[in-house]
Chain A
Amino acid sequence: MVLKNMKLTVVFIFCLLASANAFAQTESGATAKQVVDKFQTELIAVMKNGKQLGYAGRYDKLYAPVSNSHDLTKIARIVVGKEWEKLSEAQQQKLVDIFIRLSVASYAHNFKDYSGESFVFDSEEETTRGGVVVHSHFIIPDDKPVKFDYMLKEKGNSWRIINIIANGVSDLALKRSEYTTILQREGFDALIAKINEKIDNYSKL
């Protein structure tokens, strides 16, 4: 009996320690998996209220979750590649601002309602360059699941998404090709005009 009690106590202490540990972790900044989890949960929550919220409502609700989980400034730099250096400071700022709006707008447009979708976590791995990849998949009822791999980098004491790879197609690579091509062929103003047009279409469709 005494032995059993002791065992229980030990188990209890372990539980306490474990929860304290988990708490400490959130205190010091979320892990990569937690960042992705939180963002996916928030996205699904917005989808569930998607119809009532409307596009503007979804945009407002998603603004904070998207900008807190993604390192959009870094993404904006990466997608223009070496062209970044050729931009003036004002242009760089303009690009980052409009890129944030585009990112939120595309989420608000593409995840507009809910019919039982969910995200499932698969695994987590570290890359050679100090990043973390969170593998997950998005389940759509009566359709094939879509693989979502999130590539994260540490920023300050937290992790931020810098790339999303959907079924093997890297969003960063895709945008980088597009943006550098447009900058080389048509210039900065054309790029901004095209992004504005996309944001505009997202709000209407």
Chain B
Amino acid sequence: MNKPYSGNRNAKIQQIISGMLIGAAISLSGCATTGVTEQQNIANKADPYEHFNRKMFGFNDTVDDYVAKPISDAYKWITPQFMQTGVFNFFSNLKNINVVINDVLQAKFAQSAHDTGRFALNTTMGLGGFVDVATHVGLEQNDEDFEQTLAVWGVPQGSYLVIPFLGPSTMRGIPGAAFDTAANPASYVGMPVQLISLLNTRANAEGSLKFIDEAALDPYVFTRESFLQWRNNLATDGKSESSLDLDAEWGEDGADSATKGGDTAADNKTVPAQHVSSENKYTRQEHELQLLPPSPSKIGSE
């Protein structure tokens, strides 16, 4: 979610304002179309603006096919692997400032010490962050951001949104992304660094995007579901017991309705967005830093 914006502060504020305007436009256009989409998507309380989102998804996909992917492929082709890893480590390290801030905001004080240590070690011994020494001594990368903090504070997730050029988000994700951008030093430097940051982000999403391409019957729904589940998993620190229970329920419902003869009321309970619970926040499980949910495709990609 850390997208580079212009280094100029005024421009940045403009960006944020225009982001809000886009958000408002989205909600308004959403209001206008809910009547139509409601019938179609009984199962989708998380995505009332599906009609609009699908269009944006298509648009982003086209932009990716014709612009982002070719550039990212060229970057991967000309840049040696160790450089790509170094660049990835560098930007991940900068994000740790934001991780530490959000650790504190979520009252995860032990973790904030851990992440401060990680940042200090990688910035010094790790040559400004290019080498990830901290992982080797057991200081793993944690993934915290302001959207997760808002979740922990009890702010509801809101509707799913696909934002032009930026991709999947939620209502809660918009202020989250604005804060994360503000807390990332990479947002305040010149164009080349931001361009590299963008390339790095796209290049690292390659595996996930390829997996979606291969596995998804409906790429829009696949992306939405995996994004929402992934964000929920992060917000609850991998402790989505609620989703396990829901799954159990589905098992029963599926089997029951299959044998009994269709219980539609039971089915409406199964909206995936409903596991947006902000309980079970303080738990020890670690999680991954990835753009999209990891895929088994990594295991033997070539």
Q: Does A66 have its Cβ within 8 Å of any Cβ on chain B?
A: no
Given A168-B233, A169-B293, A195-B217; A131-B248 close (CB under 8 Å): yes
Given A117-B299, A178-B217; A82-B248 close (CB under 8 Å): no
A110 touches B299 (CB 8 A): yes
- What is the number of contacts between chain A and chain B, taking CB atoms within 8 Å? 161
B255 touches A144 (CB 8 A): no
Q: Does A61 have its Cβ within 8 Å of any Cβ on chain B?
A: no
Q: Does A22 have its Cβ within 8 Å of any Cβ on chain B?
A: no
State how many residues of chain B have any CB contact under 8 Å with chain A. Answer: 54
Complex Cα gap A180–B289 (Å): 30
B247 touches A112 (CB 8 A): no
Bitwise, A96-130 to B at CB < 8 A (1) or not (0) is 00000000001001111100010000000001111
Q: Does A69 have its Cβ within 8 Å of any Cβ on chain B?
A: no
Residue from B243, B254, B297 within 8 A of A170 (CB atoms): B243
Residue from A112, A153, A174 within 8 A of B299 (CB atoms): A112
Q: Does B30 have its Cβ within 8 Å of any Cβ on chain A?
A: no
Complex Cα gap A78–B261 (Å): 13
* B117 CB, nearest partner CB in chain A, Å: 19
Given A82-B267, A111-B299, A147-B238; A185-B225 close (CB under 8 Å): no
Complex Cα gap A195–B216 (Å): 9
A168 touches B300 (CB 8 A): no
Q: Does A143 have its Cβ within 8 Å of any Cβ on chain B?
A: yes
Between B244, B247, B248, the greatest number of chain A beta carbons within 10 A of the residue's beta carbon is seen for B247
A173 touches B214 (CB 8 A): no
- Collect the chain A residues with CB atoms within 8 Å of residue B258's CB: 77, 84-85
- Collect the chain B residues with CB atoms within 8 Å of residue A182's CB: 217-218
**Chain B interface mostly:** helix
Q: Does B298 have its Cβ within 8 Å of any Cβ on chain A?
A: yes
Given A74-B255, A82-B267, A84-B258; A168-B230 close (CB under 8 Å): yes
Residue of B nearest to A180 (CB): B43
- Collect the chain B residues with CB atoms within 8 Å of residue A179's CB: 217
B262 touches A82 (CB 8 A): yes
- Collect the chain A residues with CB atoms within 8 Å of residue B296's CB: 110-111, 146, 166
Bitwise, A158-173 to B at CB < 8 A (1) or not (0) is 0000110111111011
Instruction: Spot the interface stretch: A5-13, A27-35, A197-205.
Output: A197-205
Q: Which of B211-258 contact A (CB under 8 A)?
A: 214-218, 221-222, 224-226, 229-230, 232-234, 238, 240, 243-255, 257-258
Q: Does B283 have its Cβ within 8 Å of any Cβ on chain A?
A: no
Residue of A nearest to B141 (CB): A144
Q: Does A91 have its Cβ within 8 Å of any Cβ on chain B?
A: no
Q: Does A181 have its Cβ within 8 Å of any Cβ on chain B?
A: yes
Q: Does A81 have its Cβ within 8 Å of any Cβ on chain B?
A: yes
Residue of B nearest to A179 (CB): B217
* B81 CB, nearest partner CB in chain A, Å: 12
Of the A-B pairs whose beta carbons lie under 8 Å apart in the complex, a sample of 27, sorted by A's number, is: A78-B251, A81-B257, A85-B257, A113-B299, A127-B245, A129-B245, A129-B248, A129-B249, A140-B299, A146-B288, A151-B247, A151-B248, A153-B251, A162-B251, A163-B247, A167-B287, A167-B293, A169-B226, A170-B229, A172-B250, A174-B229, A177-B225, A179-B217, A181-B221, A182-B218, A184-B40, A195-B217
Could you tell me which A residues sit within 8 Å of B by CB distance?
47, 50, 74, 77-79, 81-82, 84-85, 106, 109-113, 117, 127-131, 133, 140, 143-144, 146-147, 149, 151, 153, 162-163, 165-170, 172-174, 176-182, 184-185, 191, 194-195, 198, 201-202, 205
With A47-B300, A85-B261, A146-B294 already in contact, 20 other A-B pairs whose C-beta atoms are closer than 8 Å: A47-B299, A79-B254, A81-B257, A81-B267, A82-B267, A111-B296, A113-B299, A128-B245, A163-B247, A163-B251, A165-B240, A170-B229, A170-B243, A173-B229, A177-B224, A181-B221, A185-B40, A194-B218, A195-B217, A198-B215
